[in-house]
Amino acid sequence: MQIFKSDINTLVSTKMLMEGVHFDLTYIDLQHLGYKAAMIGMNDIFAGGGTPRTVIISLGLSKRFQEPETEALYDGAKMACEKWNVTLEEGDKTASLTGLAVNVTCIGEANDDDIIPQDGAKETNLLCVSGDLGAAYMGLMLLEREKKVYYEQLKEGKINKDEAWQPDFAGKEYLIQRQMEPEARGDILKKLREAGIHPTSMVALSSSLSSAIINICKASNTGCRLFEKFIPIDYQTAVMAEELNMNLTTCAVNGGDDQELLFTCPIGDNETLQEMEGIKVIGHITKPELGLQLVARDGNEFEIKKLNN
């Protein structure tokens, strides 16, 4: 995200989403894709302490996409923008030889006092996160599993290609919602301001928790301690991880796509933060020479590494 300073600061965020890398049209329709893209852009502005004003979506289109389909994508983005009173603009459309490409630019504004940098973390600051982690990744794993089942049944002739096929997601609806319909966390920013808390640094969790922690600590020249026992995880996420025989903490720390906010605050805000719903203190900032460590439930420490982007 870039900040252009004047009487009121302009914040600009740009994200590129590529078919086959960031989304799979086998299980996400264009309306949901547009909704998610707009929310990702707006969340970046909230992470900078700003108010999103305009979302611009440009598309790279292969020959298989027609006008009605692209309108569905913009309809989804419009629904997301209306939640935050943000203007949606249709950007450029150009040909693509590698599938669908979605470029999201979000423009926002903020007063000097409201801006939250990425590089402002200080030693003894608390490390905090909004919402819960790992659910979006578990939603993706569930969709990938059902996609595999679909193609296996298609290959075996158990279903017809033209036949409607609906997998059973009963009891796992939250995981699907977190993957398909994430929400920008402007509500968390508002809650912090109402409590008189000004984070020293903040980033949006568009990638993984591990990547976001590394980004903040590298930019701020600090270390950190992340405590496994404090990482917020939803019940459905835990059940799905067990069903897939996956390590739950690994899913929450390295899964990604949660679209939450990771931020640091002065230690004096601890009591207020502990009482705030939807916010969890998960660690603290340390001297850079102490490194970036995940403290397991048994007290052992492991280096936090960036496993995805």
Structure confidence at residue 96 (pLDDT): 87
pLDDT at 290 over 60: yes
Percent of the chain scoring above 90 in pLDDT: 81
Can you give the pTM of this predicted structure? Answer: 0.93
Give the mean model confidence (pLDDT) for residues 119-148. Answer: 96
pLDDT at 241 over 70: yes
Longest distance between any two alpha carbons in the chain, whole Å = 65
Helix (H) or strand (E) holding 175: helix 173-180
pLDDT at 259 over 60: yes
Residue 284: what residue type? H
Cβ pair 27, 34 in contact under 8 A: no
Cβ pair 285, 214 in contact under 8 A: no
What mean pLDDT is reported for the chain?
A: 93
Q: 81-108 pLDDT, tens per residue? A: 999 999 999 999 998 888 899 999 999 9
Closest by CA to 46, choosing from 215, 263, 245, 207, is 263
Structure confidence at residue 4 (pLDDT): 58
| CA gap 183, 187 in Å, rounded | 10
More confident residue, 293 or 305: 293
pLDDT at 80 over 60: yes
Least confident residue range of 107-116, 120-129, 164-173: 164-173
Percent of the chain scoring above 70 in pLDDT: 95
Q: 146-176 pLDDT, tens per residue? A: 888 877 877 777 777 666 667 778 899 999 9
Q: 192-202 pLDDT, tens per residue? A: 999 999 999 99
Structure confidence at residue 3 (pLDDT): 56
Closest by CA to 64, choosing from 94, 99, 20, is 99
Where does the pLDDT of residue 13 fall: very low under 50, low under 70, confident under 90, or very high at 90 and above? very high
Cβ pair 225, 126 in contact under 8 A: no
pLDDT at 247 over 90: yes
pLDDT at 75 over 70: yes
Q: 17-65 pLDDT, tens per residue? A: 999 889 999 889 999 999 999 999 999 999 999 999 999 999 999 888 8
Q: Which residues contact 109 (CB under 8 A, 6 or more apart)?
A: 8, 9, 10, 11, 50, 51, 53
Closest by CA to 173, choosing from 231, 228, 234, is 234
More confident residue, 127 or 147: 127
Q: What is the DSSP string of 46-91?
A: HHTT-EEEEEEEEEEE-TT--HHHHHHHHHHHHHHHHHTT-EEEEE
Structure confidence at residue 74 (pLDDT): 97
pLDDT at 260 over 70: yes
Structure confidence at residue 210 (pLDDT): 97
Structure confidence at residue 308 (pLDDT): 47
Where does the pLDDT of residue 125 fall: very low under 50, low under 70, confident under 90, or very high at 90 and above? very high
pLDDT at 309 over 60: no
What are 110's two structure tokens?
């903020």
pLDDT at 231 over 90: yes
pLDDT at 180 over 80: yes
